[in-house]
Chains A and B, each alone.
Chain A
Amino acid sequence: MNSEEHSALSGQPVDQATHFEIERFLVREARALDEERYHDWLDNMVAKDVIYQLPTQEVRYRRDRKTIGNAQTTYLYNDNYDVLAMRVARFDTGFLWAEDPPMRIRRYITNIDAQWADEEGEVDVWSNFIVYRSRAQRDNVSTHGRRRDRLRKTDGQWQLASRVITLEQRVIMDKNVHCFF
């Protein structure tokens, strides 16, 4: 595909074969995280220039059009590859009491919609999720949200180039959200 052909595709839904690959990628990624294979995730599924964000939302009236995400605003996650790696490294220290006994986490990924991005070999993917976290005896929480991902195909493999997560809950009904969505 030359660049002219590519730019004509930008914003168009991906073809069936590509959609299938992307869906498989997201499901495999979710399983790697469910199974706590964090290094596998980082090494094989996450691009080195990844941007991983979860902006904080405010409850405002419709007439109030202030946008979120400017320079001075809070994000629950605003990470690059090194910071994601640092989060993962905590598991390797042997000191991570909150994860020992381990949590049980299941991720459900739905409503996948993919379209060609403006960069060649990249796609924009929207998906909804439910993350079910169970801890200790009866500490069970479901978190719902949406992701807008940029995936990039490198050497025949899809990788996560960016992820912007939104959570619908304004007040997180959990003690924290320190898990990967």
Chain B
Amino acid sequence: MSEAPVLEVSGLVKHFPVARGVLRRKLIGVVRAVEDVTFEIARGETLALVGESGCGKSTTGRLVLRLMNPTSGSIRFKGEEIAGLDKDAMRRMRRHLQIIFQDPYASLNPRMTVGDILSEPLNVHKIGDTASRASRVRELLDVVGLQAEHAARYPHQFSGGQRQRIGIARALAANPDLMVCDEPVSALDVSIQAQIVNLLQNLQQRFGLSYLFIAHDLAVVKHISDRVAVMYLGKLVEIADKKTIYARPLHPYTQALMAAIPKTDPGLRTKREMLQGDVPNPFNPPSGCRFHTRCPHAQARCSAEEPALREAAKGHRVACHFFETLPPPVIIARSGPPQGKFAERLAAFEAAKQRQAAKI
């Protein structure tokens, strides 16, 4: 892509100080929530940020929007550094960077009507006059699939999916370039999830938005993203385009994640290395490679030396000392031919699939 990336993040670090004591507060350490994270997002692109809960992906999203201040590192929006902007300058910048929240029940002010919520960004950034704001609100409601008369209602009069649409409309109101989607569908049930994901994709095509899509549902990520970045304990362990990472994950952690996706063919037997134990405490992360305590391929070097993010192919970076020599991830073996009723049903399903394919 010839254009400059919409967002360039490099060396982003967030440490939360932990202090103890009543009168004289002493610093007893820091929680290393985000450590040296580097990525970029091109115009119109969706970068998915995945990882276990507590790995720092939501924190990264909030740092990008300066809802939290980074400890160090650089955040460049369309080439302009925003990590050091003061409060007022950042406030003006906010119209270009927006966020969709996870919980549609908590992210709308219950004391404001939907119309007020949607015109808030326009008021704050002094876009248009009263009449044009009202028409913009109607337009936004239409764009996200709600009706104009919904503007006079309060959030508690809507269902979860509708509220998430309102949240999306609010984020769209000031025509942003980048949207951080912080697990926007994980609080919704599956049928609504599909609607919201499709809505997000439509909006991206219509308005040329870039998404930083934070999620832990790999099926949704596979559907919506262009590239995927995998985080573990505050660090980026692998970043690549979607096809590559789903077809050939190189980092052992990514491999474990991919192996955990449910397969649609019950006959398939994969040799799965289940990860043991929990994510270590980010207050006291393991030495060397942070994943070595749970890695099935860990060696002596892993606990001593921290692996750098190295280029494996163009646009595919991995933070592992041994990714070249690791065995390929999964050996797929069929557990013998299917038997009995199951074989019949499978045959019927295959036949239906063939017919469908023939029609198209």
The answer to whether A and B come from one shared complex is no
> Which residues on A are within 8 Å of B, measured CB to CB?
none
